[in-house]
């Protein structure tokens, strides 16, 4: 993480360590401590604190509502991993693999409750607005996850449909994290909207970059199984775009791999990636990532705040677009 964010990150990590999770029954609370201990980038609470810092300097006073977005995010990960039957999260066993699915479901539910408890510490004047915005965001994230699951069996997923899905599932929470910081600071509606727009566009670019890294990333850095999306026939931008652009022969090869029930995983990843390379899908995706980040930068330019205060958010976006994990 960039040096400018170290103060915020230390504050977030200390607040996570101080969460009262040594409770009974231990099977309910230990998985929460476990998934939070796996680390992650803490992007969402970091965004909340940075957005708040655009307008006010007492960022320590809003650490609890900022932490709510991290708890909610990890709640979604815990449940998503069950739905996806994912074996690894951040390079370690997922909660349902380490314990079982029932424990993961219930621990996730407790995380959602704790997110609301943390959000309830927002100043009274902003509390209703924060809760309303959070509820809208949470509903969209769930809609996005349902669309993602629907796509698993669908044969007619379009690029537009996929982008709508990741907007809801991933980008909405990044947008809300920034909006929350502005709300907590008492910023005006235009500032809230500009920050939310910045987050939505960066979030879309972030997820598309994640799709790229799943195919082209390094296993040790990425923390998840490289090629996992290909193995699982996940409808990513790379696959949908390839099916759109493929020749008859390439489409036949892709369809054969998509329909195969028994296969060598390494061979499948190699063959499908080769088709992506033939179609220049990596470059096409990188170009779209750049377009979304450019839109995010433009939204940030419209924000009425000192340029020096905006600099951390610009550096943050630079970090995301250039990351390798």
- pLDDT score of 183 more than 80: yes
Contact assessment for residue 198 and residue 301, using Cβ atoms and an 8 Å cutoff:
no
Separation of CA 207 from chain center:
7
Q: Which residues pair with 89 in a beta bridge?
A: 92
Instruction: Tell me the average pLDDT across 312-316.
Output: 91
Q: Burial of 101 by CB count in 10 Å (0-12 exposed, 13-18 middle, 19+ buried)?
A: middle
- pLDDT score of 325 more than 90: no
**pLDDT of amino acid 5:** 81
- pLDDT score of 324 more than 70: yes
**pLDDT of amino acid 86:** 86
User: What H or E segment, with its residue span, contains residue 27?
Assistant: helix 26-37
- The count of structural domains within the chain is 1
- Print the SS3 string covering 233-270: CCCCHHHHHHHHHCCHHHHHHHHHHHHCCCCCHHHHHH
**pLDDT of amino acid 221:** 55
Contacts of 177 (CB under 8 A, 6+ apart): 43, 44, 45, 47, 48, 51, 69, 199
DSSP state of 40: -
**Domain span holding position 193:** 3-322
Contact assessment for residue 254 and residue 243, using Cβ atoms and an 8 Å cutoff:
yes
**pLDDT of amino acid 218:** 76
Which of 45-49, 84-88, 196-200, 217-221 is least confident? 217-221
Contact assessment for residue 107 and residue 29, using Cβ atoms and an 8 Å cutoff:
yes
What is the distance between the alpha carbons of residues 95 and 77, in angstroms, rounded to a whole number? 10
**pLDDT of amino acid 220:** 54
Q: Burial of 93 by CB count in 10 Å (0-12 exposed, 13-18 middle, 19+ buried)?
A: middle
Give per-residue pLDDT as tens, 196-247. Answer: 999 999 999 999 999 999 999 875 555 556 798 999 899 999 999 999 999 9
Which of 33-47, 165-179, 272-286 is least confident? 33-47
Rg (C-alpha) for the chain, rounded Å, is 20
Give per-residue pLDDT as tens, 92-131. Answer: 999 999 999 999 999 999 999 999 999 999 998 999 999 9
Give per-residue pLDDT as tens, 299-310. Answer: 999 998 888 889
What does the buried/exposed string (b/e) look like for 10-21 if buried means 16 or more CB atoms within 10 Å of the residue's CB?
A: ebbeebbeeeeb
Instruction: Tell me the average pLDDT across 176-190.
Output: 97
**pLDDT of amino acid 4:** 64
Instruction: Tell me the average pLDDT across 165-173.
Output: 98
**For all residues of the chain together, what is the average pLDDT?**
94
Instruction: Tell me the average pLDDT across 257-274.
Output: 96
What is the distance between the alpha carbons of residues 14 and 131, in angstroms, rounded to a whole number? 24
CATH label of the domain that carries residue 105: 1.10.600.10
Instruction: Tell me the average pLDDT across 63-81.
Output: 97
Between 283 and 308, residue with greater pLDDT = 283
């Amino acid at each position: 993480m960039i040096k400018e964010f170290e103060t915020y990150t230390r504050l977030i990590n200390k607040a996570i360590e101080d969460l009262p999770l040594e409770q009974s029954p231990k099977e309910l609370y230990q998985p929460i401590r476990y998934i939070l201990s796996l680390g992650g980038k803490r992007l969402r609470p970091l965004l909340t604190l940075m957005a708040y810092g655009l307008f006010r300097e007492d960022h320590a006073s809003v650490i609890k509502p900022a932490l709510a977005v991290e708890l909610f995010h990890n709640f979604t990960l815990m449940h998503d991993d069950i739905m996806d039957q994912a074996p690894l999260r951040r390079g370690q066993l997922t909660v349902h693999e380490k314990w079982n699915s029932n424990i993961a479901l219930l621990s996730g539910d407790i995380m959602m409750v704790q997110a609301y408890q943390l959000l309830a510490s927002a100043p009274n004047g902003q509390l209703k607005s924060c809760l309303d915005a959070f509820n809208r965001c949470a509903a969209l994230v769930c809609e996005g996850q349902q669309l993602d699951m629907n796509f698993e069996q669908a044969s007619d997923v379009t690029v537009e449909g996929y982008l709508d899905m990741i907007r809801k599932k991933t980008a909405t929470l990044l947008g809300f994290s920034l909006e929350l910081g502005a709300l907590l600071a008492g910023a005006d509606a235009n500032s809230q909207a500009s920050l939310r727009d910045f987050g939505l566009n960066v979030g879309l670019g972030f997820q598309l970059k994640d799709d790229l890294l799943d195919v082209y990333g390094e296993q040790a850095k990425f923390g998840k199984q490289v090629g996992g999306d290909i193995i699982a026939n996940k409808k990513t931008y790379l696959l949908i775009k390839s099916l759109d652009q493929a020749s008859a022969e390439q489409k036949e090869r892709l369809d054969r791999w998509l329909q195969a029930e028994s296969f060598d995983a390494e061979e499948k990843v190699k063959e499908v990636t080769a088709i992506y390379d033939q179609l220049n899908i990596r470059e096409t995706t990188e170009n779209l990532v750049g377009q979304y980040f450019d839109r995010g930068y433009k939204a940030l330019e419209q924000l009425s705040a000192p340029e020096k205060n905006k600099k951390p958010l610009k550096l943050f976006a630079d970090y995301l677009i250039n990351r390798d994990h």
